[in-house]
């Protein structure tokens, strides 16, 4: 059995009397331990709803989700699920609980009653992983949005989750911050954490080993970045190719003999072959 098993799941939001909204429709998906998945789709496609279903914040209206064999619908096990599945949301301001940064990162480990040395060790490594060690004694209110988000990620890392879900966690960061966070995420994945990165940014999606796109609450595409980019299905999901891939496609359409590229480097490689 896969680490995350999503079996025929639907989720309905009650909006107001007599009106509801089916955000996830009969979705089935397996994610193995250690995978790096980009979950993508346009605003309203159901990505964030799915993320909240994965750590038991929402319970499926139909179907079932198993994380490491535990059903998210089992109320008694919800804290086990949340320990396994750490989530970083879009807006860091909603995730800050303490005024001083190291206290904020220590909040989770303190809550599960870890010994002091272990807490210190976890806070140290989590802050280091996001490049915020030098700020540990500062007030979080003094940080920029990007820095706050890195602290929020550190707070989740300090819980040593098995699955890390990033819900557009980089969308407010500047390019340097985004790169830094993605480097951290890649490193964590290499160390064994399963990563589910929710993003509209196709350059970021290309960093994953697998891209899953949702469309109107259903699974639309599932494959490697190059499979997904060459599928021609992205636009039907309201998504666009990353600039380098779009350029390769345009050149090909103009009769240039070039492969579809997923990254700038592969585009440059293809062009060099043609131009030299």
Chain residues in the site for other proteins (CB under 8 A)? 11, 13, 15-16, 19, 21-24, 41-49, 52, 58, 90-91, 138-139, 142, 144-147, 168, 171-177, 200, 202, 216-217, 234-241, 243-244, 246-247, 250-251, 254-256, 264-265, 267-268, 271-272, 274-276
Q: How far is the CB of 216 from other proteins (least distance, A)?
A: 4
Closest CB to other proteins among 43 and 191?
A: 43
The pair of three-digit structure tokens given for residue 61, joined into one six-digit string: 């209206």
In sequence order, what E strands does the chain have?
A: 4-16, 19-31, 36-40, 62-67, 70-71, 85-88, 163-167, 194-198, 210-215, 218-223
Closest CB to other proteins among 2 and 78?
A: 78
Closest CB to other proteins among 95 and 189?
A: 95
Q: How far is the CB of 173 from other proteins (least distance, A)?
A: 7
92: which DSSP letter?
Answer: G
171: which DSSP letter?
Answer: T
Q: CB-based burial of residue 75 (10 Å sphere; 0-12 exposed, 13-18 middle, 19+ buried)?
A: exposed
Closest CB to other proteins among 171 and 227?
A: 171
Q: How far is the CB of 146 from other proteins (least distance, A)?
A: 4
Q: How far is the CB of 262 from other proteins (least distance, A)?
A: 13
- Contact of 26 with 9, CB cutoff 8 Å: yes
Closest CB to other proteins among 143 and 157?
A: 143
Q: How far is the CB of 114 from other proteins (least distance, A)?
A: 28
CA distances from 87 to 8, 94, 125, 193, 247 (A): 23, 13, 18, 13, 34
Closest CB to other proteins among 45 and 189?
A: 45
The string of DSSP codes covering 186-218 is HHHHHTT-EEEEE-S-HHHHTTSSEEEEEETTE
Give the whole-angstrom CA distance, residue 179 versus residue 87: 19
Q: How far is the CB of 271 from other proteins (least distance, A)?
A: 6
């Amino acid at each position: 059995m896969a680490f995350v098993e999503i079996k025929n799941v639907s989720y309905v939001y009650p909006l107001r009397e007599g009106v509801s909204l089916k955000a996830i429709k009969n979705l089935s998906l397996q994610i193995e331990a250690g995978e790096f998945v980009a979950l993508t789709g346009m605003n309203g496609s159901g990505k964030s709803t799915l993320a909240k279903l994965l750590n038991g914040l929402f319970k499926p209206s139909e179907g079932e989700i198993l994380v490491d064999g535990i059903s998210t619908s089992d109320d008694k096990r919800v804290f086990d699920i949340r320990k396994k599945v750490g989530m970083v949301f879009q807006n860091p301001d909603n995730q800050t609980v303490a005024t001083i940064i190291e206290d904020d990162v220590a909040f989770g480990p303190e809550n599960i009653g870890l010994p002091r040395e272990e807490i210190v060790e976890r806070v140290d490594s989590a802050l280091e992983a996001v490049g915020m060690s030098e700020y540990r004694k500062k007030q979080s209110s003094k940080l920029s949005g990007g820095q706050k988000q890195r602290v929020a990620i550190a707070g989740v890392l300090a819980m040593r989750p098995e699955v890390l879900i990033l819900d557009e966690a980089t969308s407010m960061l500047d390019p340097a911050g985004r790169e830094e966070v993605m480097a951290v995420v890649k490193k964590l994945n290499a160390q064994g954490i399963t990563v589910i990165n929710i993003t509209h940014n196709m350059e970021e999606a290309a960093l994953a080993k697998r891209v899953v796109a949702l469309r109107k609450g259903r699974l639309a595409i599932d494959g490697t970045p190059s499979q997904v980019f060459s599928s021609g299905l992205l636009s039907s999901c309201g998504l666009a190719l990353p600039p380098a891939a779009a350029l390769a496609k345009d050149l090909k359409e103009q009769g240039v003999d070039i492969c579809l590229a997923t990254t700038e480097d592969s585009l440059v490689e293809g062009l060099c072959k043609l131009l030299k």
